[in-house]
């Protein structure tokens, strides 16, 4: 390797400390990760995984606080109002951080009030029914809905989440009707599904894959363009019926911070989370959940969030959906 020029050599002492400072930022006190959902779902799992990792890496406590309700907007508002010093983070997702901006007419925060920090995990949603339900395929599912218009219920993890909008889009394409029953997160929705109190659920594969493997829930289709390696016998919805040929949804999760948090803190937290995502243990754990690490720079994550916001805005406008927040 050629030796650096005198000009480059003189610049190195200035560049290296700057890079080191970007990687060595620490909060110096207890940090909160707000989870805008109930315990038990993917948003909560990711928040706790990040908290455990950052606690060990920083040497100061990182605690998880669940603030469920209003499709994730209550927890999001707590972060928006927090001091922008890096000690309050949001374990966010596609619902309150992309879908909500078009769905709610009086949303109490804007995209500009949050800084995307780091991706966590991405993966498809999956359509499930209780194992006792006499529906074993998408053809039977469509016939079941059409034969019982407006009488079959479906759970979601909250109004405005992808678990709400994904079935809305699917029902529109199938020209079918069903009753939406929102819950305060994936955990409570799963409880009702397992009890047979609701007809179906479209949830993150990461959240329900263990119930599918145990045989308590039956997976009818995944929402991604291709089949999931974790459920190779479960078809992609778009391959099952002509009406669903263009249907494709992937969900994602990531860390956000108040918009005014210093760039130094954002880059350091991003590097710390990416170190977690790079480990073989994390990759194996995410694969078991049915997802893959969402490894990004802060800029790449911001671009993803922007594209998803635009995509779901188009879907929501086409459906004519508008709700009041809260």
CATH of the domain at 260: 3.40.190.150
* Sequence-ordered list of residues with C-beta below 8 angstroms from that of 80, at least 6 positions apart, any chain: 109, 113, 114, 258
Two tokens, residue 152:
């079959």
The verdict on 46 and 95 lying in the same domain is yes
The verdict on 130 and 113 lying in the same domain is no
CA–CA dist 128, 272 (Å, integer): 35
Query: In this structure, are residues 257 and 269 in contact, taking their beta carbons and an 8 Å threshold?
Result: yes
pLDDT at 139: 98
Four-residue CA torsion sign, 4, 8, 9, 15: negative
Tell me which of 208, 224, 244 is where a domain ends.
Answer: 244
Residue 8 lies in a domain: no
Residue 4 lies in a domain: no
Two tokens, residue 178:
């069903």
pLDDT at 23: 54
């308590």: which residue's tokens?
Answer: 216
Tens of pLDDT, residue by residue over 50-105, are: 999 999 999 999 999 999 988 899 999 999 999 999 999 999 999 999 999 999 98
The verdict on 135 and 199 lying in the same domain is yes
Question: Does the pLDDT value for residue 22 go beyond 80?
Answer: no
Question: Does the pLDDT value for residue 19 go beyond 60?
Answer: no
* Sequence-ordered list of residues with C-beta below 8 angstroms from that of 318, at least 6 positions apart, any chain: none
* Phi and psi at residue 93, to the nearest 5°: -160, 180
Residue 180 lies in a domain: yes
Residue 6 binned pLDDT confidence (cut-offs 50, 70, 90): very low
- Average pLDDT of the segment spanning 253-262: 98
Query: In this structure, are residues 255 and 246 in contact, taking their beta carbons and an 8 Å threshold?
Result: no
Residue 223 lies in a domain: yes
Residue 213 burial by CB count (10 A; 0-12/13-18/19+): exposed, middle or buried?
Answer: middle
- Average pLDDT over the chain, rounded to an integer: 91
Helix (H, G, I), strand (E, B) or coil at 3: coil
Question: Does the pLDDT value for residue 15 go beyond 60?
Answer: no
Residue 15 lies in a domain: no
Residue 143 lies in a domain: yes
The verdict on 101 and 148 lying in the same domain is no
CA–CA dist 134, 314 (Å, integer): 35
Residue 156 maps to which CATH number?
Answer: 3.40.190.10
Residue 314 binned pLDDT confidence (cut-offs 50, 70, 90): confident
The verdict on 111 and 256 lying in the same domain is yes
pLDDT at 318: 79
Residue 326 binned pLDDT confidence (cut-offs 50, 70, 90): low
Tens of pLDDT, residue by residue over 230-246, are: 899 999 999 999 999 99
The verdict on 229 and 269 lying in the same domain is no
Two tokens, residue 159:
């109004």
CA–CA dist 316, 322 (Å, integer): 8
- Provide the residue range defining the domain that includes 230: 124-244
Residue 213 binned pLDDT confidence (cut-offs 50, 70, 90): very high
Question: Does the pLDDT value for residue 150 go beyond 50?
Answer: yes
Query: In this structure, are residues 247 and 170 in contact, taking their beta carbons and an 8 Å threshold?
Result: yes
- Average pLDDT of the segment spanning 297-303: 98
Strand partners, 115: 257
Quote the number of domains for the chain: 2
Tell me which of 244, 261, 276 is where a domain ends.
Answer: 244
The verdict on 115 and 41 lying in the same domain is yes
Residue 13 lies in a domain: no
The verdict on 118 and 160 lying in the same domain is no
The verdict on 70 and 171 lying in the same domain is no
């977690």: which residue's tokens?
Answer: 276
The verdict on 213 and 270 lying in the same domain is no
The verdict on 137 and 50 lying in the same domain is no
Residue 102 lies in a domain: yes
The verdict on 73 and 116 lying in the same domain is yes
Question: Does the pLDDT value for residue 161 go beyond 90?
Answer: no
Query: In this structure, are residues 43 and 203 in contact, taking their beta carbons and an 8 Å threshold?
Result: no
pLDDT > 90 in the chain, percent: 77
Tell me which of 202, 227, 244 is where a domain ends.
Answer: 244
């Amino acid at each position: 390797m050629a030796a650096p020029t005198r000009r480059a050599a003189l610049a190195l002492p200035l560049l290296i400390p700057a890079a080191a400072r970007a990687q060595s930022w620490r909060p110096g006190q207890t940090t909160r990760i707000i989870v805008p959902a109930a315990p038990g779902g993917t948003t909560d799992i990711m928040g706790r995984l990040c908290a455990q990792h950052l606690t060990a890496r920083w040497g100061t406590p990182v605690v998880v606080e669940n603030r469920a309700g209003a499709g994730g907007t209550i927890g999001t508002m707590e972060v928006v109002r927090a001091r922008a010093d890096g000690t309050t983070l949001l374990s966010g997702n596609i619902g309150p951080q992309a879908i909500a901006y078009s769905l709610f007419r009086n949303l109490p925060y804007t995209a500009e009030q949050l800084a995307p920090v780091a991706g966590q995990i991405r993966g498809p949603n999956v359509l499930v029914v209780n194992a006792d339900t006499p529906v074993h395929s998408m053809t039977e599912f469509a016939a079941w809905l059409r034969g019982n218009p407006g009488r079959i219920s479906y759970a979601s993890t909250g109004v405005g989440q992808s678990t709400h909008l994904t079935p809305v889009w699917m029902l529109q394409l199938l020209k079918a009707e069903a009753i939406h029953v929102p819950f305060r997160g994936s955990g409570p929705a799963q409880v009702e599904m397992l009890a047979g109190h609701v007809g179906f659920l479209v949830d993150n594969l990461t959240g329900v894959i263990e119930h599918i493997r145990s045989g308590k829930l039956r997976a009818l289709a995944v929402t991604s363009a291709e089949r999931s390696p974790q459920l190779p016998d479960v078809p992609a919805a778009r391959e099952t019926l002509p009406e669903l040929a263009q249907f494709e949804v992937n969900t994602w999760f990531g860390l956000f911070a108040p918009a005014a948090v210093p760039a130094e803190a954002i880059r350091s937290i991003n590097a710390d989370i990416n170190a977690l995502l790079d480990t073989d243990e994390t990759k194996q754990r995410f694969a078991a959940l049915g997802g893959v690490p969402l490894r990004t720079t802060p800029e790449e994550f911001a671009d993803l969030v922007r594209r998803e916001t635009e995509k779901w805005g188009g879907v929501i406008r086409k459906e004519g959906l508008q709700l009041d927040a809260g």
